[in-house]
Amino acid sequence: MRGAIAKTFYEHRELLDEDHVKEFLVKVPHLALDILMYMNKPPAPPGFPPGFGGAFR
């Protein structure tokens, strides 16, 4: 479930601008960390081999 939430925040980053979302994430630091880690290394798009394009980061 936390993965789905992290993916939603990745796809809709504007949610992080909402004050009520910020207040919620302060209360749930593990979820905030999950979101941060997901944004740092999102999954590869479907159809791309693992590691494809890693040299361009």
Q: How confident is the model over 2-54, as pLDDT tens digits?
A: 889 999 999 999 999 999 999 999 999 999 999 999 999 877 777 766 665 55
Residue 46 CA from chain centroid, whole number: 17
Quote the distance between the C-alpha of residue 36 and its chain's center: 6
Q: So what's the pLDDT on residue 15?
A: 97
pLDDT, position 56? 53
Query: From the CB of residue 11, how many other CB atoms can be counted at a distance below 10 Å?
Result: 9
pTM above 0.85, yes or no: no
At 52 the pLDDT is 58
Residue pair 47/16 in contact by the 8 Å Cβ criterion: no
Task: Enumerate the domain spans of the chain.
Answer: 2-44
Query: CA nearest 5: which of 34, 41, 37?
Result: 34
pLDDT of residue 50: 62
Tokens matching residue 21: 């979302």
